Structure 1
Amino acid sequence: MFKGKKYIFSRGIAFYPEKEMQLLKKQASKGWHFKKMSHIGFLVFEKGTPEDKAFSVDFFDGLPEELSEYLVIYQEAGWENIANYKKKYFYFKADCDTPTIYSDSESYWLRMKKEWIWLSIRSLFYFPLGIGLLILLFLTKTLQEHFLSSLGIRTLLAFIGMLCIALPIGVAINVAFSIIIYSDRTKYYNQPERFAKRQKIVRDSLFLAMIGFIIGVLISILLKNSF
């Protein structure tokens, strides 16, 4: 916190939007008004007058020319657009008694499904790069006096390759985890604050980290002969 600004790491707009709404509401009640989310995932707040407002975080899956119509729908429903993240995630605020934009559990499930499909497809772009780097390491493991024979370079390429492979796997695991652990999520389409109280980010993070560690170890075993 400095010069009237506060920075808080996002709770995760893709998998914990309800927690994000809860955080924004709590900060607003203390006089910290949300302004934007930085490219590295920090929520930026500025000091002001305390206010009691409801917040909503939504995913936009339409075409750029459909954005203005999308924002008008929210505006007419009483929600003010206050920020966006990469023109995909939009933050809104309204009076606490304003109805949510989603009218039933089916429409809320459709919103989540479109978001997770978009995330999965986007992350898959990194997979071929990761596979390509690992194949390169395997094919060049016997080279001598070549820049690819350097242990430092090979370690760096292996790290990047593993990261590119792990990204889509991580997204898939997070989606599956959310569907299984929070299977009744859509029932709270109009009660995000109630659902936010059920979400356990620390527990979930530890469990997912354990899965990631196991996958990382398995990949490392497969790569041990590539050096």
Structure 2
Amino acid sequence: MMSSTKSVFRWWWIWQSEKIEEWLEEQERQGWHLMEVKPNLMRFYFQKGEPRTIRYVFDYQTEVNDDYIMLYEDAGWEPLNNGKHSWYLWRKPYEANKPESRPEIYSDIDSIIQRNNRMKRTLIIVGLVLIPSMVMGITAQLLWQVRLAFIISYVFIWILFIYGISRLSAQNRKLRSRSVSSRH
């Protein structure tokens, strides 16, 4: 007997929001309806039902007012777990036999680039905030092995942040070139 609910832990990086959106849409096509997302945005709860075609979009916003929420709700988007760690998850049904009707939350390429820049800024700020804690952690330790472990841990974290920033920058370059080529 198959369970009518499931909980899935799915790791994803902020520069991969499109992949997690596609995965959520595939879950809907298989009849697993998203009911809840935990605040860490990696634990998803589903309930079994009829397959449906739903567009999911994660939007990263650091400053939101009521107009932002109203704009998307008026356009037929349903909010899910909005505002957890500046991420807003939206969904909207569309007709499966009309893939061209798949809704987009961003009206233009510049909006996507701005979203990517907000994520890059956050990664840079968090990376810079880690510097004093690393210095304090290293200087407070008497054992060189613990100091080395701190250094290795922070270097790994910074490599991830730099990789994320470079991925977002690459996405922006690709979007800009697509925008330029579509104008000609």
Asked if Structure 1 and Structure 2 have the same fold, meaning a TM-score greater than 0.5 normalized by the shorter chain, the answer is yes
Alignment of 1:177 onto 2:167:
yes
Per-residue CA deviation, residues 48-97 of structure 1 (Å, 9 max, x unaligned), is 3321111111011105xx2x332111111221112236241111111232
Alpha-carbon shift at residue 126 of structure 1 (Å): 1.9
Structure 2 Cα separation of the partners of residues 28 and 176 of structure 1: 32
Matches within 5 A, 1:4-153: 4-12=5-13, 14-34=14-34, 35-39=36-40, 41-62=42-63, 66=65, 68-84=66-82, 86-96=84-94, 97=101, 99-137=103-141, 140=142
Per-residue CA deviation, residues 105-124 of structure 1 (Å, 9 max, x unaligned), is 11210111012102221232
Is the contact between residue 33 and residue 46 of structure 2 (CA under 8 Å) also seen in structure 1?
yes
Structure 2 Cα separation of the partners of residues 2 and 188 of structure 1: 44
Pairwise CA RMSD of aligned residues?
3.0
Is the contact between residue 7 and residue 43 of structure 2 (CA under 8 Å) also seen in structure 1?
no
Structure 1 Cα separation of the partners of residues 17 and 39 of structure 2: 16
Structure 2 Cα separation of the partners of residues 81 and 187 of structure 1: 32
Structure 2 Cα separation of the partners of residues 124 and 88 of structure 1: 19
Is the contact between residue 28 and residue 51 of structure 1 (CA under 8 Å) also seen in structure 2?
yes
Range with greater deviation from structure 2 (49-58 or 166-175): 166-175
Alpha-carbon shift at residue 166 of structure 1 (Å): 3.5
- Between the aligned residues of both structures, percent identity stands at 20
Give the TM-score normalised by the residue count of structure 1: 0.63
Is the contact between residue 36 and residue 45 of structure 1 (CA under 8 Å) also seen in structure 2?
no
Give the TM-score normalised by the residue count of structure 2: 0.76
Could you tell me which runs of 5 or more consecutive residues in structure 2 were left unpaired when the two chains were aligned: 95-100, 180-184
Is the contact between residue 120 and residue 168 of structure 2 (CA under 8 Å) also seen in structure 1?
no
Could you tell me which runs of 5 or more consecutive residues in structure 1 were left unpaired when the two chains were aligned: 142-153, 190-227
Range with greater deviation from structure 2 (35-44 or 75-84): 35-44
Is the contact between residue 56 and residue 92 of structure 1 (CA under 8 Å) also seen in structure 2?
yes
Larger radius of gyration: 1
Q: In the comparison of the two structures, how many residue pairs are matched?
A: 171
Structure 2 Cα separation of the partners of residues 27 and 72 of structure 1: 27
